Amino acid sequence: MNHDKELDVRGLNCPLPILRAKKALSDMTSGQVLKILATDPGAVKDFEVFSKQTGNPLLSHLEANSEFTFFLKRK
Protein backbone atom coordinates (compact mmCIF):
# COMPACT_ATOMS: atom_id res chain seq x y z
CA MET A 1 0.00 0.00 0.00
CA ASN A 2 1.24 3.47 -0.82
CA HIS A 3 2.11 5.66 2.15
CA ASP A 4 3.43 9.16 2.76
CA LYS A 5 5.34 8.59 5.98
CA GLU A 6 6.72 5.58 7.86
CA LEU A 7 7.00 5.17 11.61
CA ASP A 8 9.10 2.37 13.15
CA VAL A 9 8.03 1.62 16.74
CA ARG A 10 9.32 -1.95 16.82
CA GLY A 11 10.54 -2.89 20.28
CA LEU A 12 8.34 -0.29 22.00
CA ASN A 13 5.39 -1.19 24.20
CA CYS A 14 2.12 0.57 24.97
CA PRO A 15 1.56 3.49 25.12
CA LEU A 16 4.63 4.57 23.12
CA PRO A 17 3.49 3.29 19.67
CA ILE A 18 0.21 5.21 19.99
CA LEU A 19 1.90 8.37 21.27
CA ARG A 20 4.47 8.34 18.46
CA ALA A 21 1.75 7.70 15.87
CA LYS A 22 -0.31 10.58 17.24
CA LYS A 23 2.69 12.90 16.95
CA ALA A 24 3.49 11.69 13.42
CA LEU A 25 -0.12 12.19 12.29
CA SER A 26 -0.16 15.72 13.66
CA ASP A 27 2.64 16.62 11.23
CA MET A 28 0.70 15.24 8.24
CA THR A 29 -2.06 16.71 6.11
CA SER A 30 -5.55 15.33 5.62
CA GLY A 31 -5.63 12.27 3.36
CA GLN A 32 -2.00 11.29 3.84
CA VAL A 33 -1.22 7.72 4.94
CA LEU A 34 1.06 6.71 7.81
CA LYS A 35 2.67 3.27 7.78
CA ILE A 36 3.49 1.97 11.28
CA LEU A 37 5.77 -0.99 12.05
CA ALA A 38 5.28 -2.48 15.52
CA THR A 39 6.11 -5.61 17.52
CA ASP A 40 3.82 -5.14 20.54
CA PRO A 41 0.94 -7.67 20.24
CA GLY A 42 -1.28 -5.22 22.11
CA ALA A 43 -0.82 -2.70 19.30
CA VAL A 44 -3.54 -4.38 17.22
CA LYS A 45 -6.27 -3.53 19.72
CA ASP A 46 -4.63 -0.20 20.60
CA PHE A 47 -4.64 1.04 17.00
CA GLU A 48 -8.22 -0.13 16.43
CA VAL A 49 -9.36 1.90 19.46
CA PHE A 50 -7.12 4.84 18.52
CA SER A 51 -8.64 4.91 15.04
CA LYS A 52 -12.20 4.98 16.39
CA GLN A 53 -11.45 7.62 19.01
CA THR A 54 -9.56 9.99 16.72
CA GLY A 55 -11.45 9.46 13.46
CA ASN A 56 -8.26 8.58 11.57
CA PRO A 57 -9.27 5.51 9.52
CA LEU A 58 -7.27 2.32 10.00
CA LEU A 59 -6.97 1.23 6.38
CA SER A 60 -5.40 -2.14 7.12
CA HIS A 61 -3.17 -4.08 9.44
CA LEU A 62 -1.02 -7.07 8.64
CA GLU A 63 0.86 -9.55 10.79
CA ALA A 64 3.95 -11.49 9.75
CA ASN A 65 6.70 -13.05 11.88
CA SER A 66 5.49 -11.35 15.10
CA GLU A 67 5.61 -7.95 13.41
CA PHE A 68 2.58 -5.81 12.75
CA THR A 69 2.11 -3.27 9.99
CA PHE A 70 -0.63 -0.67 10.21
CA PHE A 71 -1.80 1.90 7.69
CA LEU A 72 -3.57 4.91 9.19
CA LYS A 73 -5.07 7.67 7.07
CA ARG A 74 -4.97 11.23 8.44
CA LYS A 75 -8.53 12.51 8.73
- The domains of the chain are located at 5-73
| pTM exceeds 0.85 | yes
Among 30, 28, 38, CA closest to 5: 28
* Pairing mode, strands 5-8 and 58-64: unpaired
Assess contact for 70 and 58: CB atoms under 8 A. Answer: yes
68 is catalytic: no
Average pLDDT in the 31-52 region?
A: 97
| Domain spanning 5-73, CATH class | alpha beta
What is the mean predicted confidence (pLDDT) over 3-29?
A: 97
Per-residue pLDDT, 4: 98
Residue 44, pLDDT score: 94
Mean pLDDT of 4-8: 98
Spot the catalytic one: 14, 28, 33, 59: 14
Supply the pLDDT for residue 17. 97
Contact by Cβ (8 Å): 17, 40? yes
Determine the pLDDT at residue 75.
95
Residue 31 contacts residue 73 (beta carbons within 8 Å): yes
Q: Most distant CA pair in the chain: distance in Å?
A: 32
